[in-house]
Amino acid sequence: MMNSATKHVVVYLAHGTESVYHQTVFSILTLYYHTKGDFKDFAVVLYTDNRAFFSPYLSDTGVIIEDLTKEQIVEFMGERNFIHRVKTFIIKDCFNKYKKDTLYLDGDTMFMVNPAGLLKQITPACSVMNCDEYDMHDGGVHELQHWFDLRTALKANAFTLHTKQFKIPLATRMWNAGILGISYANAHLLEDVIDLTDQLYAKCPLFNVEQFATSFILQNHATVISSGDYILHYCYGGVKSMFTYHLGLFFAQHKNKSAEMLSQLAFEFSQRLDTLTAPPTTPKEMTILDRAVLRLQLVKEVAFTGGLRSKW
């Protein structure tokens, strides 16, 4: 039950695999730790297809669980079965039900500090995304085939919103959408995100067109800022597989502990990330690309914040 005085909603989507469930529980536990279990200023909402998995971990935390059926997932994926389309519909549903400014997080995240300061920055004039990655002129370390394919599609096609046809400039920034803060006043923009996502996916069926559509719509409506060092998003291949492995061990060892104890252990885990080793079945800790991307992330964090608050 949500308190009427609640100003924000922190929302997660977790479906499909146990590793995603583990990541999501862990992220919520780090939020629980940094807020001392006090969710009075915001509600935490989890959309999932597996309530039974989460209930033992979250029953005492105040997290609101919204059941997500297989039929809803199929509906949200749309006629082209695009899995990343589901996220936008979950945020839209959250706006419809709770009518609050919303901070969405992918499961592969962890809070490094209390997010109160970040939540306050979500306004009609300011949206939050994880980080600014590249534009379509220069992808840097991201210039893989998917970057070239999307760039080609943008150059070759025009798009339409509200009956107006337009070209998308190659100067448009691609932001990582694993963290996404949108004011309730801007909830209507999600219809444009869905529309543009579908147009992009029809021309160029890539995994990241939902992210690009979200980036384009938000940056052309208001200022977009990075979630910065409030939250760590470990979304890249070798890094993510390493975390997935260690979170599996974490929950196997601690699954019967209380949420309060688990949150303390999760915090301690987040403070020793630089000691983690690759899974024994993985031939290399990270690919060259993973290392390059990680290095770029760290360089950007130092440039923007003057140092590293999160430890790797």
Tokens of 248: 């599996």
Residue with tokens 């000691």: 275
Q: What is the number of alpha carbons within 13 Å of residue 284 lying toward its C-beta?
A: 8
Element (H, E) at 101: strand 101-105
Tell me if 3 sits within 8 A of 40, measured CB to CB. Answer: yes
Residue 310 pLDDT: 39
Choose among 83, 29, 80: nearest CA to 58. Answer: 29
Q: For the chain, what's the residue count? A: 312
Residue 307 pLDDT: 45
Angle, helices 85-98/70-77, rounded to nearest 10 degrees: 110
Tell me if 141 sits within 8 A of 289, measured CB to CB. Answer: yes
Tokens of 173: 């920034």
User: CB under 8 Å, gap of 24 or more: what pairs does 35-41 form?
Assistant: 35/114, 35/115, 37/61, 37/259, 37/260, 37/263, 39/63, 40/3, 40/5, 40/6, 41/6, 41/7, 41/8, 41/116, 41/119
In 3-state terms the chain splits into helix, strand, coil percentages (rounded to 5) of 50, 20, 35
Residue 134 pLDDT: 97
Q: Rounded distance, CA 278 to CA 303, Å?
A: 28
Residue 278 pLDDT: 83
Tell me if 142 sits within 8 A of 300, measured CB to CB. Answer: no
144, burial (CB in 10 Å: exposed 0-12, middle 13-18, buried 19+): exposed
10-residue stretch averages of pLDDT, the chain, 312 residues long: 80 97 98 95 97 95 97 98 98 97 98 97 98 96 94 98 98 98 98 98 97 98 97 90 95 94 98 89 53 55 46 34
Residue 309 pLDDT: 40
Residue 141 pLDDT: 87
Residue with tokens 């597996």: 50
Tell me if 244 sits within 8 A of 252, measured CB to CB. Answer: no
2, burial (CB in 10 Å: exposed 0-12, middle 13-18, buried 19+): middle
pTM listed for this prediction: 0.89
